[in-house]
Structure 1
Amino acid sequence: MWDLSPKTTLDFALYGLLAFSTLVTIILVTLPSQYDPYSTDFAKDEVVDDTKKVMTPAEYVNRRTWVKQTRHLGASFQVVVLGDIGRSPRMQYHAISIAKNGGQVQLVGYTESELHPDVVSNSSIKVVPIDPSPAWLQAPSKLLFPLVAPLKVLWQAWSLYYAMGYDATATKWMLVQNPPSIPTLAIAYFVCFLRNTDFVIDWHNFGYSILALKLGRRHPLVLVSRLYENIFARSAIAHLAVTDAMATVLKQKYGIKAQVLHDRPAALFKPLNPEERANYLSQLPETAQYAKDLLSGFMRLVVSSTSWTADEDFSLLLEALTRYSALVTSKTGLPKVLAIITGKGPLKEHYLNKIRALNQKNQLLNVLLLTAWLTPEDYALLLGSADLGVSLHTSSSGVDLPMKVVDMFGAGLPVVGWSKFQAWPELVQEGVNGRGFETAQQLSDLFVELFGKDVLSLRKLKDGALIESERRWDEEWDGVAGKLFLLVKQLT
């Protein structure tokens, strides 16, 4: 029997209080350190020699003033994406721009693919990797997704918290990509609260709308995700959005004001002259044996970049190319097509099986479909060497835009893309630098029109894309994010 005498009860209470206080002490001691604007973590070469001596109040004030005058206070950043950094060009561009303007950046994310060369070579940018979730947490089907998803979120929450709170040092600013919103926004807000860091969200899309592609808009998890995103959106002190349409939705439905920072191509993407194009097509393994036909116009080079996910309907391109292949046989003057598809993603094998089946049925006789995974430099050169870019991004929310189109314009490459969503006209001017389609038949008709004997249509789009290529990321970023982060002071 338990002894519940007053003395024993008091002992239990004292032991319990001691254990609780010990636990609280451990938690407090091990919490992430707070941001200190006068810390030497980010500019050790700028620290005076008298930091360890005892200073009078006047000397201390003078030193604080000296620090403010000799270096950018608050120019330290965590740039966070709960995804593969190499496939997050916008967040890499943020890091490059911050470093270019005197900031110190810790770029937090998964390191699954090659990074932008300017990220790798810049000493002001430190990559902080997040531990990837184990393979068994990858949900194999819609049926198992609700069971596995919570475990995956817990794993991601801990690994993200540890990377931001312990692997990375405290910073003045934290710029977080959304989506994914779960668990990113909650963990980021918690770390920012603990570290006295200013929390900024960069809205690429809405997390709940992407989840709805998998589960349906009425699914309880989608409804919870939408509420969660709405609540934590209000915890940030500032917001960036990729389109005017997205900023409008954020204001109307979330009650927050976002500054619009349109995507623009980085310097890596640029038009090629005829000699550069010929050299690259002759060297790239995927195009080398077809270089002569590509340069003569007997064959056209089409490029599409895809993440092989549900928000990109790759079957549209397959059907359009099948229709086009049949027309090449019956119509003179239509060139053959070499289509190179770049990217990685969960549905890749599914569509590769479809391509193999079409080839076995001889439905792609006049079309060669290849897949490739290229370095950032090679991808930029491929876009500069192509005749036409294709975007299959269908937009889960209707207010985001595909970054791939921005890169294509940067290389002076005209674009055809799925256009049945609200924000499309913010990026593509119909008939000027690109064309839109909504069905496979329309896409096939565009191939016939642009690749036919009348070359004026494609040439006009090419001229428009070359003009668009002059609009660059640096100018856009400096005028919006540069001012927000007070780095604009360093601009000349």
Structure 2
Amino acid sequence: MIELLISVAFYLSTALTIGILLLPSRHESKPVTSQNAANEPKTTVQILVLGDIGRSPRMQYHALSVARNGGQVDIIGYHESDVHPEISSHPRISIVPLPPHPSCLQTSNKLLFLLFGPLKVLFQIVCLFWILAYRTKPAKWLLVQNPPSIPTLAIASLVCFLRHTNLLIDWHNFGYTILALKLGDSHPLVRFSRTYEKIFCQYATAHLCVTNAMASVLKDEFALKAPILPLHDRPADHFQPILDDRVRQDFLRSLSETESVRPMIGSDKVRVLVSSTSWTADEDFSLLIEALCRYSDLAETSNPELPSVLAIITGKGPQREMYLRQIADLQKNGKLQKATIRTAWLSMEDYARLLASASLGVSLHTSSSGVDLPMKVVDMFGAGLPVVGWNRFEAWPELVTEGRNGRGFGSSDELVKHLVELFGNQEALEKLRAGAREESSRRWDDEWNPVAGKLLGLV
């Protein structure tokens, strides 16, 4: 039934697109002048994000790189949070916001999700077709973030065919593996999603992906014939190490989240831990909560020399309130005497400064596919922050060198062990920090220019 609804929605959207394409464009052409000719872009790129643009850093970095190299960019997506300041001010970048879907279609209930899912997809189909086929001018390239795959890949494939645009898919993960977290691997919709993804990705001119491991899957299991180009995430320029201890301490003291430990900042009595999470099923935040509870118990009983921990958790997501209630109960019951957990939503600049000022970063990303990587770790390395992260997936070694710039864990027991060893031994922590600062020299433009820049004809 669900497959039928989605199929009907797709065919309806196809008819809608053809009708829209017959309508006159709302963009008025301007007379050609010598000044216009001099400012003619090297290429035109539309970047499609079926999500919040402000929470899609990689796609923002794509836009900035295209624009800096002389291309014209339209970023299409939900404009819910602040974007990179240069995105807003750059004359070659325009934001085309998608209308938000009706709130009545949002639910965390599994049964209602199956009912509302096709309706949400139909709404997205209409909005995407309207913007891609009518509200915007044709571009030479359409760069699509994947996932989500439904309905993005089908719409993008059709519009690119009708407008003679080259489709470029940027693979961050696989849509069907993320769907399986909610519905299970054997669910019919998951199987349908996998088939759908494999079919429509065949229409792309080329593919970018975040790891070499993902490139192997696309080549071997998806049997793609078009070029597959690994493009590893690297930090943007605003993520930089802060080498002056006094500057780091002053910034931490300026945050309201540090109020309870402010007098101890700069001493050996407290360590600041930071983690960024989307509060979703692919990041088991209970691992960190359990580890902090056990760390607190050890610091109070058998190892009183251990410093207190302030954990600052940034991000927004559906499971946030559930975990906040759990944390409040633990604090009430005295389980976090030596650990304080605070949540924050910071500007991009303050988030970068927080990473550069903290003692240790934590990544809870578990990878639904095993071949994607958490960009938060890239940002942490950009700021010179050592990392401990969940490492039970294939692509982890492409990002972290064990013992040099970070450590991996596969359970709360292992995470506790790392926290005790690193927070109880400043020399071990500084060794990892030196490795993270060395890693920070690897930047986005160094990775992007010879791969995507060359493909788009910009470098």
Give the TM-score band, short-chain normalised. Answer: over 0.9
Q: How does 1:372-391 map to 2 (within 5 A)?
A: 372-391=344-363
Q: How does 1:11-26 map to 2 (within 5 A)?
A: none
> Amino acid of the residue matched to residue 213 of structure 1?
L
> Amino acid of the residue matched to residue 161 of structure 2?
F
1:473 to 444, 447, 455: 444
* Residue-pair matches, total: 440
Question: Structure 1 residue 287: deviation in Å?
Answer: 2.1
Distance 1:24 1:31, change over 3 A: same
Does structure 1 retain, via aligned residues, the 8 Å contact 2:253–2:265?
Answer: no
> Amino acid of the residue matched to residue 353 of structure 1?
R
2:81 to 80, 105, 113: 113
Q: How does 1:205-354 map to 2 (within 5 A)?
A: 205-256=173-224, 257-272=227-242, 273-288=244-259, 290-330=261-301, 331-354=303-326
1:448 to 420, 424, 427: 420
2:128 to 140, 160, 163: 160
Question: Structure 1 residue 44: deviation in Å?
Answer: 6.5
Aligned to 1:100: 68
Distance 1:43 1:255, change over 3 A: farther
> What CA distance in whole angstroms lies between the structure 1 residues aligned with 2:17 and 2:56?
38
Question: Structure 1 residue 27: deviation in Å?
Answer: 5.3
Distance 1:43 1:408, change over 3 A: farther
Q: Which moved more, 1:395-404 or 1:454-463?
A: 454-463
> What CA distance in whole angstroms lies between the structure 1 residues aligned with 2:418 and 2:432?
12
2:327 to 355, 360, 364: 355
Distance 1:105 1:299, change over 3 A: same
Question: Structure 1 residue 276: deviation in Å?
Answer: 2.1
> What CA distance in whole angstroms lies between the structure 2 residues aligned with 1:25 and 1:436?
51
Find the residue that maps to 1:413 and give its secondary structure.
coil
Find the residue that maps to 1:182 and give its secondary structure.
coil
Identity score, percent: 57
Question: Structure 1 residue 182: deviation in Å?
Answer: 0.2
Aligned to 2:3: none
Distance 1:26 1:440, change over 3 A: closer
Does structure 2 retain, via aligned residues, the 8 Å contact 1:99–1:125?
Answer: yes
1:458 to 398, 421, 429: 429
> What CA distance in whole angstroms lies between the structure 2 residues aligned with 1:341 and 1:268?
20
- Superposition TM-score, scaled by structure 2 size: 0.92
Question: Structure 1 residue 177: deviation in Å?
Answer: 0.3
Does structure 1 retain, via aligned residues, the 8 Å contact 2:41–2:72?
Answer: no
Moved over 4 A (4+): 23-28, 31-34, 39-45, 70-73
1:150 to 118, 122, 126: 118
Aligned to 1:58: none
For structure 1, the 5+ residue unaligned runs are 1-22, 49-66
> Amino acid of the residue matched to residue 155 of structure 2?
I
Does structure 2 retain, via aligned residues, the 8 Å contact 1:105–1:125?
Answer: yes
> What CA distance in whole angstroms lies between the structure 1 residues aligned with 2:107 and 2:420?
41
Aligned to 1:6: none
Residues 139-182 of structure 1 deviation map (CA, whole Å, 9 limit, x = unaligned): 33112111110000001111122222223221111100000000
Q: Which moved more, 1:166-175 or 1:301-310?
A: 166-175
Aligned to 1:91: 59
Find the residue that maps to 1:370 and give its secondary structure.
strand
Find the residue that maps to 1:201 and give its secondary structure.
strand
Does structure 2 retain, via aligned residues, the 8 Å contact 1:391–1:416?
Answer: yes
Find the residue that maps to 1:365 and give its secondary structure.
coil
Distance 1:333 1:210, change over 3 A: same
- Superposition TM-score, scaled by structure 1 size: 0.86
Asked whether 1:30 is paired with 2:2, we answer no
> What CA distance in whole angstroms lies between the structure 1 residues aligned with 2:100 and 2:41?
34
How well do the aligned residues superpose, as a CA RMSD in angstroms? Answer: 2.1
